């Protein structure tokens, strides 16, 4: 069971107040009233607990690995003095998690937003990982199956035009991340920042709700370093060994994702040597790559898809609604259409509403993996 760290409140020792003196002295009376009021507030907080505060959920690493496949625990040990990537305790959320099936920490229980039978297999799946210099890395299984196949959400087409959405920027804001996981249809693909604290816990949560997952590879934009994508940015001018080394750090941050998507990257994706090293590494590990439109002409011999539009370029409800309708129009014309968005509150609200209605208009809501093809 996860250990829940709750703030402790103690009642202050209130001074004895001489009622007669209070009545005779307005200044003392006001002071006493303020003290009594503060005590009442603290007592109420003690009774109710924090509301929207910084309550944290901590999961010891040994406990969270109790059900892991053979070899996974050993693979977490870093080699050659590399800095550890996994903390003994990870913070997962601002409020307690409900215990999942079997009592496994970090696994969410079903709820109103969960669909019966929608939970995906618990990651990691044996045969799809191996130790790397900084942690476990995805690999193609001995039978030829890839992580892109193993971790994608199963999908059966029904002949209708297919529409898919990737919602990104998750893992950095706990409230937005929980909202996306809990309120969006499980067919919506979720994309997580590689710099997220407790990244594996968030991925576990998302998969328990049926969402397939991507992780975001930070890539150099044209306005770097003014627009800085972090210390493990894949650089356009980097030599292939350096690109692979940084990519391995990204890939070793968690497991359970079927592929990567780009975070920024306008310069990196336009540079042939940089992109070729990136694509060759992903292909060799059996991963997919879905971009936000910046790499529409790129292939690489791996499962690929490109978002045709960003639905929340303009943060207004009416604009997002128009973009979602345009996504449907694209699916009618081409048989399928993929969009992307960020985990803004208005985006999550609009996408949740749209996803619950789109199939009634004759479309099939699909995970992004179902729209990929090798190219």
Contact 306, 291 (CB under 8 A): yes
Q: How far apart are the first and last CA of the chain?
A: 45
pLDDT at 199 over 50: yes
Together in a domain, 357 and 239: yes
Contacts of 95 (CB under 8 A, 6+ apart): 55, 57
Which helix H or strand E contains 90, and what residues bound it? strand 89-91
d(C-alpha 50, C-alpha 371), whole Å: 43
Together in a domain, 234 and 343: yes
* pLDDT-based confidence at residue 7 (cuts at 50, 70, 90): very low
Residue 361 lies in a domain: yes
Domain end call among 31, 48, 65: 48
Residue 93 lies in a domain: no
> How wide is the angle at C-alpha 133 spanned by C-alphas 303 and 142, nearest 5°?
45
Residue 137 lies in a domain: yes
Residue 222 lies in a domain: yes
Which helix H or strand E contains 214, and what residues bound it? strand 213-219
Together in a domain, 31 and 179: no
Residue 195 sits in a domain whose CATH number is: 3.20.20.370
Mean pLDDT of 261-290: 97
Residue numbers of the domain that contains 299: 125-374
Q: Which of 182, 200, 190 is nearest to 110 (CA)?
A: 182
Q: Report how many domains make up the chain.
A: 2
pLDDT of residue 213: 98
Residue 71 lies in a domain: no
Residue 20 lies in a domain: yes
d(C-alpha 72, C-alpha 131), whole Å: 8
- φ/ψ of 329, rounded to 5, equals -60, -40
* pLDDT-based confidence at residue 194 (cuts at 50, 70, 90): very high
Q: Mind listing the pLDDT tens digit for each residue in 349-358?
A: 999 999 999 9
Q: Mind listing the pLDDT tens digit for each residue in 79-138?
A: 333 333 333 223 333 322 333 332 233 333 333 333 434 899 999 999 999 998 888 999
Q: Report the range of poorest mean pLDDT among 66-75, 156-165, 168-177.
A: 66-75
Residue 167 lies in a domain: yes
């Amino acid at each position: 069971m996860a250990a829940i760290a709750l703030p402790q409140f103690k009642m202050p020792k209130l001074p004895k107040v001489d009622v007669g003196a209070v009545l005779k002295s307005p200044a003392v009376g006001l002071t006493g009233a303020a003290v009594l009021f503060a005590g009442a507030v603290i007592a109420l907080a003690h009774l109710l607990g924090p509301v929207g505060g910084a309550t944290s959920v901590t999961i010891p690493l040994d406990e969270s690995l109790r059900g892991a496949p053979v070899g996974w625990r050993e693979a977490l040990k870093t080699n050659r003095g590399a800095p550890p990537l996994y903390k003994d305790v990870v913070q997962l959320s601002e409020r307690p998690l409900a215990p999942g099936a079997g009592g496994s920490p970090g696994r969410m229980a079903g709820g109103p937003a969960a669909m019966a039978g929608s939970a995906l297999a618990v990651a990691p799946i044996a045969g799809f990982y191996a130790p790397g210099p900084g942690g476990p890395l995805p690999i193609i299984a001995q039978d030829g199956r890839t992580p892109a196949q193993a971790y994608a959400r199963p999908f059966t087409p029904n002949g209708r035009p297919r529409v898919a959405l990737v919602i990104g920027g998750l893992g950095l804001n706990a409230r937005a991340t929980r909202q996306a996981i809990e309120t969006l249809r499980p067919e919506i693909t979720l994309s997580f920042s590689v710099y997220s604290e407790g990244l594996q816990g968030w991925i576990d949560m998302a998969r328990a709700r049926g969402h397939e997952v991507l992780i975001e590879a930070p890539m150099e934009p044209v306005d770097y370093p003014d627009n800085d994508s972090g210390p493990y940015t894949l650089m356009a001018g980097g030599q292939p060994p350096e690109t692979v080394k940084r990519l391995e750090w990204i890939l070793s941050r968690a497991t359970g994702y079927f592929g990567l998507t780009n975070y920024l990257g306008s310069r990196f994706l336009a540079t042939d040597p940089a992109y070729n090293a990136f694509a060759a590494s992903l292909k060799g590990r059996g991963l997919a790559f879905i971009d936000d439109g910046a790499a529409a002409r790129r292939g690489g011999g791996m499962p690929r898809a490109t978002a045709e539009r960003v639905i929340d370029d303009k943060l207004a409800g009416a604009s997002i609604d128009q973009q979602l309708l345009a996504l449907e129009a694209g699916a009618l014309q081409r048989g399928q259409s993929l969009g992307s968005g960020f985990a803004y509150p208005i985006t999550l609200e609009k996408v949740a509403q749209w996803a619950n209605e789109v199939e009634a208009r004759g479309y099939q809501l699909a995970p992004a993996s179902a729209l990929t093809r090798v190219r």
